Structure 1
Amino acid sequence: MKFFEVVPSDLFSPLASPNRALYADALDVLYTAYRENLKIPEDTLYSMLRSKLEQQLADATFEGEDIDVEELRDISGRARFLIRKLCSKGWFEKERGDDFEEYITVPGYSSRILELFHQLRDDSPIRGYSYVFGTYSTLKVAHESGSVYDKMAAIYGAYDNTQALINLLQMVYHNVRHYFQMQIEMQDVNEVLASHFNNFGQKVVEAYIRPLKIKDSVPKYRVPIQSVLKNWAEDDDLLLAMANAALQDKRGETLDSCRADLLRKIFWIDERYDNIEHDYLDEIDAQVRRYTRAATQKVENLTNRDQNVRGNLNVLLTALSRNHRASDLVDQIQPVFQLYEQSYLSEKSLWYRKRPGKRTKAAPVIIQETPPDADAAAQAAQLLRSEYGRAAIAAYVQGWLGDSDVRYSKDLKIQDDKSYIMSLLAVLASGDPTAKHQIRELDGTFSENGYSIPQMQIIRKEKKK
Structure 2
Amino acid sequence: MDDAQAQQTNPLFGIIPKEFFTPLASPNRLVYWDCLCRLFQAMSAQLSFGIEREILVDELQFYFEQNQAAEFEEDDINGMDSRKKANEMLRLLEKYGWLEVETDKSYVQRVNFYDYAVKVMKTLLEISDGRKVEYQGYIYTIYSLVRTNTDHPAVVLQQIRDNTDMLITGLKNLNSNIKHYIDELTKHKTVAEIMNALFNDYITNIVDKAYHRLLTSDNVSKFRPEIIERLEAHGHSSRYIAKTSEELAAIREIPVGQAEELVYQTLHEIVEAFRNMDDILAEINRKNTQYQRAAVNRAKFLLAGTEDVRGQMKEILLYIGEQMEERQLDLNGIYEIEYLDNLVRLFGSSFIDEKSFYSPIEGKKEFHPQELTEVMPDVELRQEKLRKMTEKMQRILSPKRIERFVEEQLGDREKIYASELPMETMDDFIRLIYVRLYGSRKKMRYRIEKAEGANKISGEFDFPDFAIIKR
Which of the five TM-score ranges fits, normalised by the shorter chain? 0.5 to 0.7
**Counterpart check, 1:90 vs 2:97:** yes
Q: How big is the shift at 1:320? A: 9.9
Partner of 2:42: 33
**Counterpart check, 1:131 vs 2:132:** no
Report SS of the residue matched to 1:104: strand
Q: Is the 8 Å Cα contact of residues 139 and 223 (structure 2) preserved in structure 1?
A: yes
Q: Is the 8 Å Cα contact of residues 64 and 85 (structure 2) preserved in structure 1?
A: no
CA separation in 2, counterparts of 1:285 and 1:53? 50
Report SS of the residue matched to 1:268: helix
Q: Is the 8 Å Cα contact of residues 161 and 270 (structure 2) preserved in structure 1?
A: yes
CA separation in 2, counterparts of 1:119 and 1:320? 43
Q: Is the 8 Å Cα contact of residues 133 and 169 (structure 2) preserved in structure 1?
A: no
**How many pairs align?**
304
Report SS of the residue matched to 2:201: helix
Superposed CA offset, 1:274-311 (max 9, x none): 221x211111011111011111112222233699xxxx
Partner of 1:219: 221
Partner of 1:140: 147
CA separation in 1, counterparts of 2:192 and 2:249? 60
Pairs within 5 Å for 1:150-299:
151-250=153-252, 253-276=254-277, 278-299=278-299
CA separation in 1, counterparts of 2:164 and 2:33? 33
Superposed CA offset, 1:411-464 (max 9, x none): xxxxxxxxxxxxxxxxxxxxxxxxxxxxxxxxxxxxxxxxxxxxxxxxxxxxxx
Change (3 A) 1:107 1:56: farther
Calculate the TM-score normalised by the size of structure 2: 0.59
Partner of 2:115: 108
CA separation in 2, counterparts of 1:242 and 1:320? 64
CA separation in 2, counterparts of 1:321 and 1:238? 63
Q: How big is the shift at 1:121? A: 0.9
CA separation in 1, counterparts of 2:60 and 2:295? 44
What percent identity do the matched residue pairs reach? Answer: 23
Change (3 A) 1:98 1:191: farther
Change (3 A) 1:139 1:48: farther
CA separation in 1, counterparts of 2:235 and 2:295? 48
Q: How big is the shift at 1:217? A: 2.1
Task: Specify the code of the residue in structure 2 equivalent to 1:118.
Answer: L
CA separation in 1, counterparts of 2:133 and 2:62? 30
Q: How big is the shift at 1:99? A: 3.1
Partner of 1:455: none
Q: How big is the shift at 1:9? A: 0.8
Gap regions ≥5 residues in structure 2:
1-9, 308-422, 430-458, 460-471
**Counterpart check, 1:62 vs 2:73:** yes
Which is higher, the Rg of structure 1 or of structure 2? Answer: 1
CA separation in 1, counterparts of 2:305 and 2:118? 51
Q: How big is the shift at 1:170? A: 1.1
- RMSD of aligned C-alpha atoms? 2.7
Q: How big is the shift at 1:128? A: 8.0
**Counterpart check, 1:118 vs 2:122:** no
Q: How big is the shift at 1:160? A: 0.8
CA separation in 2, counterparts of 1:19 and 1:9? 18
Superposed CA offset, 1:63-114 (max 9, x none): 277x4xxx83322222222111111101111111233222111112111110
Report SS of the residue matched to 2:282: helix
Report SS of the residue matched to 1:100: coil
Q: How big is the shift at 1:47? A: 3.0
Q: How big is the shift at 1:221? A: 1.2
CA separation in 2, counterparts of 1:298 and 1:125? 28
Pairs within 5 Å for 1:335-350:
none
Q: Is the 8 Å Cα contact of residues 63 and 69 (structure 2) preserved in structure 1?
A: no
CA separation in 2, counterparts of 1:133 and 1:295? 33
**Counterpart check, 1:7 vs 2:3:** no
Q: How big is the shift at 1:51? A: 3.7
Q: Is the 8 Å Cα contact of residues 127 and 207 (structure 1) preserved in structure 2?
A: no
Q: Is the 8 Å Cα contact of residues 92 and 104 (structure 1) preserved in structure 2?
A: yes
Task: Specify the code of the residue in structure 1 equivalent to 2:274.
Answer: Y
Partner of 2:329: none
CA separation in 2, counterparts of 1:127 and 1:53? 37
Calculate the TM-score normalised by the size of structure 1: 0.60
Where has structure 1 moved over 6 Å in runs of 4 or more? 319-322
Report SS of the residue matched to 2:110: strand
Partner of 1:354: none
CA separation in 2, counterparts of 1:230 and 1:281? 23
Change (3 A) 1:291 1:133: same
